[in-house]
Homo-oligomer: A and B are copies of this chain.
Amino acid sequence: MKVNKGQILQRAGELNTKVYAVETGLLRSYTIDEKGKEHIFAFAPESWTIADLCEETDPCELFIDALEDSTVTVIDKEIRKKQVDINTVVNRIFVLQKRVIMLMSSSAIERYEHFVKTYPNIVQRVPQKMIASYLGITPEALSRVRKERTHAK
């Protein structure tokens, strides 16, 4: 399945039973809070999968759209559950564990440094305001953080 940049695959509030496996391109998932602000939950480049893992009977919480023209394979959640390796799922939990700890204990600079180290290829491909959104800060704050960082070197 081909999707164009900007195309929305899933909206918060809808029911959804799909998982998206990215072949080429880049997807993201995000929420919009009551104040209308976007918060990016995840990026999914080539060979990653992305989904809202809510109950299949409940409205989902995340939007999923394409940040680049992409090709994705759409998989049914139930079918995926039978195929997926438990290790990849457990690893996913571990990554989230790290993210939660980061959000609780690290400053904006530390979170940015960690992100750049962990996902260098994504840094190149998305605008900074999206990285800010992923880190849980504003674009202005990220801009200032980066400035200090280069001065420090």
Q: Which residues of A line the B interface, CB within 8 A?
A: 31, 33, 37, 39, 41, 52-55, 61-62, 81-82, 84, 86-87, 89-94, 96-101, 103-106, 136
Q: Which residue of B lies closest to A34 (CB)?
A: B105
**Assembly stoichiometry (copies):** 2
Main secondary structure of the interface of A (DSSP, over half): helix
CA distance A94 to B56 in the complex (A): 12
Partner of A101, one of B53, B61, B81, B104: B61
Residues of B contacting A39 in the complex (Cβ-Cβ under 8 angstroms)? 101, 104-105
Q: Which residue of B lies closest to A92 (CB)?
A: B93
* Contact assessment for B136 and A103 in the assembled complex, using a CB-CB cutoff below 8 Å: yes
Residues of B contacting A105 in the complex (Cβ-Cβ under 8 angstroms)? 31, 33, 37, 39, 136
Partner of A100, one of B41, B53, B94, B106: B41
Partner of A81, one of B33, B37, B86, B104: B86
Partner of A96, one of B86, B87, B91, B93: B93
* Contact assessment for B81 and A87 in the assembled complex, using a CB-CB cutoff below 8 Å: yes
